[in-house]
């Protein structure tokens, strides 16, 4: 199997003290122990940067540029970064029209379009309900991997 890792899992895995940090980290460890290929997209890194550098008062992490840059470098070494490819825009538009995607959900459709073009089958995300409409992929919540991490 191949897994894409959603931005919310990336953020939680590096957000020290967040209640979901151990769940995100354990989920990633379980998948790595199983030998799964874990991929991210440039979109994930951009979304992470937005949240990481946004002030705490605005639901961000409040990091400075140097800290955000350091974390991006670490993530780029830990995951396979699947850059843009021909066909992602067309696939995104097809999905968005077919599944009646509106507003912020367009970001989710772009992740799915990137997955389909790159032939990534599974998505690790805390927001599994956001991806229910996309039957082309298998959505896995890190919470569902907790039992495996205890074994």
In angstroms, rounded to a whole number, what is the distance separating the alpha carbons of residues 107 and 144?
A: 24
pLDDT in tens, 36-74: 999 999 999 999 999 999 999 999 999 999 999 999 999
- Residue 9 CB partners (closer than 8 Å, separation 6+): 24, 27, 28, 124, 125, 126, 142
Q: Are 122 and 138 in contact (CB under 8 A)?
A: yes
Question: Where do the domains of the chain lie, and which CATH numbers do they carry?
Answer: 2-150 (3.40.50.1010)
Q: How confident is the model at residue 150 (pLDDT cuts 50, 70, 90)?
A: low
**More confident site: 151 or 127:** 127
Q: What is the pLDDT of residue 151?
A: 55
* Residue 75 clears pLDDT 80, i.e. is over it: yes
């Amino acid at each position: 199997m191949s897994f894409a890792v959603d931005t919310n899992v990336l953020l939680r895995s590096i957000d020290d003290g967040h209640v979901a940090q151990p769940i995100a980290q354990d989920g990633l460890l379980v998948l790595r122990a199983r030998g799964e290929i874990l991929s991210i997209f440039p979109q994930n890194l951009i979304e992470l940067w937005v949240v990481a550098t946004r002030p705490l008062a605005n639901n961000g992490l409040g990091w400075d540029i140097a800290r955000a840059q350091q974390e991006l470098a670490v993530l780029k070494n830990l995951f396979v970064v699947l850059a843009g490819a021909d066909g992602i825009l067309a696939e995104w538009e097809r999905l968005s029209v077919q599944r009646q995607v509106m507003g912020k959900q367009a970001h989710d459709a772009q992740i799915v379009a990137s997955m389909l073009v790159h032939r990534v089958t599974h998505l690790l995300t805390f927001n599994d309900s956001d991806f229910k409409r996309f039957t082309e992929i298998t959505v896995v919540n890190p919470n569902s991997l907790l039992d495996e991490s205890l074994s």
